[in-house]
Amino acid sequence: MRVVIIGAGPAGLYVAYLLKRAFRWADVQVHERRARGTTFGFGIVFSDKALDFLVAEDSKTHALLAPELEQWSDLTIVHRGERVVIDGIGFSAIGRQMFLDLLEVRALDAGVEIHYDSEVDAAVASDRADLVVAADGVGSGLRQEHATAFGTSEEPLNNRFIWFGTSKPFDTLTQTFLQTRHGAFNAHHYRYQPHASTFIVETHVQTWRDAGLADLPIEASIRFCETVFAEALQGHRLVSNNSHWRQFPVVRNRTWSHGNIVLIGDALHTAHYSIGSGTRLALEDAIALAAAVKARPHDIGEALGRYQSERQPILQKLLGGADASAAWYESFEKHMQLAPYDFAMSYINRSGRVDQARLKAMSPGFVANYEANAA
Ligand SMILES: Cc1cc2nc3c(=O)[nH]c(=O)nc-3n(C[C@H](O)[C@H](O)[C@H](O)COP(=O)(O)OP(=O)(O)OC[C@H]3O[C@@H](n4cnc5c(N)ncnc54)[C@H](O)[C@@H]3O)c2cc1C
């Protein structure tokens, strides 16, 4: 079996490892257009205390990643200068490059060939391989080439966001909301290494325009965000990694494969970063795809149909939560009319997936403070 995987992000590296592990004799190649050791963004969070979902499938990869995770058990919302702590909402985080390096180790150990600085022609790859995995991310060229066959929809959200890093280590995942004379700004910030944090700034498109950010060079945007979030940053600078203002695209596909080409990870679907699940979903797609191919190795068409029919119902629930969370952020300035504890409650209920009894069990401190505040 010959498998060509386009993209060495989390989805591509992990499916390469799983397929090579399942089919020792197979030729599994990954082609990545970036240089080795480079990536976009800074750290990523996982919406659980640890990568527990990996334990059953792959305890060795879990054991490699677990010591590198920064973990905390509370989430902090800052609104009107008040810090509201929501206990029991565990997250863990890791640098994106570190995460990719560790997945690369697993793939290379299994015998996968990884080619960096390598962009392959999809048509040629499709002719020469039994299976082509489009793990080429949100702007997937393979998906765009066959957009009609995949039934692709791609809708940009209105808000503008920018992904920075900073040397300030934050105690917990923190959501800071601030009013300025131009309108409201939000920052998602969390530590992903002992002395490094992710800092994502988000705002409404009109606020972005009114603040002049649409026209300013990136250095001026950095200075602007440092000034707005001076209290959170406490003198630490924001760092760019090709950072630029973007709109988050909501990508969906009706049909997940076309001939021997199959979509996984962000090429298949995006999940708003506010739920910290895009990378996890990419890994779970990889697990589902590898399991389907393992079940039908001699009939790739059947395997790809099975991949979609088994994975889609599980995925839809999570993507529904991600879309609801994105919708909450699209109008976060309106929610900011609420007092801090009501605002925090609105935040925690934004995906519509937390029932009140479960919240009480999970976050007893927060619920007690919320009730005391309402009394
Ligand atoms: C601001 C922001 C914050 C985020 N934060 C989180 C978070 O905290 N937690 C989380 O779980 N997720 C987060 N995500 C989402 C996460 O980054 C993605 O879901 C995840 O990276 C998807 O993995 P992937 O492998 O599908 O795609 P990617 O990681 O995008 O990898 C795709 C790879 O394909 C390569 N490529 C593209 N085209 C070609 C080509 N033609 N030939 C060769 N190579 C090609 C690219 O260079 C890239 O390396 C965030 C996303 C954003 C935008």
Give the distance (Å) from ligand 1 centre to CA of residue 280: 11
Residues 276 and 323 in one domain: yes
**Pocket residues for ligand 1 (CB within 6 Å)?**
6-12, 31-34, 41, 44-46, 119, 135-138, 141, 163, 200, 265-267, 273, 276-280, 282
Shared domain check, 144 and 289: yes
Q: Is residue 339 part of a domain?
A: no
Over 151-220, what HEC string results? CEEEEECCCEEEEEEECCCCCCEEEEEEECCCCEEEEEEEEEECCEEEEEEEECHHHHHHCCCCCCCHHH
Q: Tell me, what's the pLDDT at 49? A: 62
Give this prediction's pTM: 0.95
Atom 40 of ligand 1: nearest residue by CA position: 119
Last residue of a domain, one of 179, 213, 239: 239
Q: Total domain count for the chain? A: 2
Residue 51, pLDDT score: 80
- Which residue is closest in CA terms to ligand 1's atom 52? 273
* 367 Cα: distance to centroid of ligand 1 (angstroms): 35
Separation of 246 CA from ligand 1 center, angstroms?
14
Query: Is 359 within a domain?
Result: no
**Which residues span the domain enclosing 119?**
2-47+58-72+91-156+248-329
| pLDDT for res 374 | 82
Indicate whether 361 belongs to any domain.
no
Query: Do 304 and 190 lie in a common domain?
Result: no
Rounded to the nearest angstrom, the distance between the alpha carbon of 235 and the centre of ligand 1 is: 30
At 228, is the secondary structure helix, strand, or coil? helix
Which residue ranges of the chain lie beneath pLDDT 50? none
pLDDT tens digit string along 317-352?
Answer: 899 999 999 999 999 999 999 999 999 999 999 987
Alpha carbons 70 and 87: distance in angstroms, whole number: 17
pLDDT value, residue 97: 95
Same-domain status, 135 and 234: no
| Residue to mutate, 14, 29, 33, ligand 1, most ligand atoms under 8 Å from C-beta | 33
Q: Which of 193, 209, 239 is the last residue of a domain?
A: 239
Asked if residue 341 belongs to a domain, the reply is no
CATH number at residue 225: 3.30.9.20
